[in-house]
Amino acid sequence: MNDEPTIFEVSELTEEDLRPFWNGENWQLFFLATLDIRAKLGVSQGVAERTLRSLCASGDVRAIQGDYEDEPHRIKPSEWGEPDMDDWVHVSVDDLEFWLAQQEGVDQQAPPAKRAQSQRAHAKRAIMSLWPKGIPTALNNAQIVSEVGNWLDRDCKDQNVPKLNISPDTILRAAGNGQR
């Protein structure tokens, strides 16, 4: 058995001690780092993996690669598109902890389907406010879109919220219109 110390020393079986120490820094296995992201952000494993790959590709979280016998090497952000990049990858504990701390108070985005429903609901509310007895038949699609857009802009300004970017198609679906 080889008694020479390797660059990855393990002194006790605690999670912190299982982190390899290289070049004066602690590093954590890619998979274990995704578990930290899952716990902090409440996302699926797939989203956590994609997030960590993106952070490594951007350079926000540094990564090294190498097995326990070879000297690891830094992974350049541009290398993250290569297949099997996660094999024997460790990420900087400091970089990941810093990024996770920056996520405090960051709202998770609503799924696209929910956002579309919400946009249609806003358009429907505008339509009901503008024309409580129904949309006048004299209005064409362009006029409906314009009137609803203006109402939404005023409403957002009154409520001091960001302007909504609702497509004409969504407004016309809320109006129940095909072509006029």
- Banded pLDDT at 11 (limits 50, 70, 90): very low
Choice between 163 and 36, residue whose per-residue pLDDT is larger: 36
Residue 171 has pLDDT above 70, yes or no: yes
Query: Is this structure's pTM higher than 0.75?
Result: no
| β-pair partners for 22 | 25
Q: Which residues are CB-neighbours of 137 under 8 A, at least 6 positions away?
A: none
Residue 17 has pLDDT above 80, yes or no: no
- Banded pLDDT at 7 (limits 50, 70, 90): very low
Choice between 2 and 147, residue whose per-residue pLDDT is larger: 147
Q: Which residues are CB-neighbours of 10 under 8 A, at least 6 positions away?
A: 17, 18
Choice between 85 and 153, residue whose per-residue pLDDT is larger: 153
Q: Which residues are CB-neighbours of 89 under 8 A, at least 6 positions away?
A: 29, 30, 56, 63, 64, 65, 75
The confidence score (pLDDT) of residue 175 equals 87
Taking the CA atoms of 64, 62, 30 and 58 in sequence, report the sign of the dihedral they define: negative
Interval 53-72: pLDDT, tens: 888 888 888 888 776 566 66
Among all chains, which residue has been given the structure tokens 């990049």? 85
Beta strands in 38-161 (DSSP E): 63-65, 73-74, 89-92
The confidence score (pLDDT) of residue 9 equals 44
On whether the CB atoms of residues 99 and 60 are closer than 8 A, the answer is yes
Neighbour tally for 65: CB within 10 Å: 17
Q: Map out the domains of the chain as residue ranges.
A: 21-102, 112-175
Interval 99-150: pLDDT, tens: 888 886 554 444 454 444 578 888 888 898 899 888 998 999 999 999 999 9
Residue 81 has pLDDT above 50, yes or no: yes
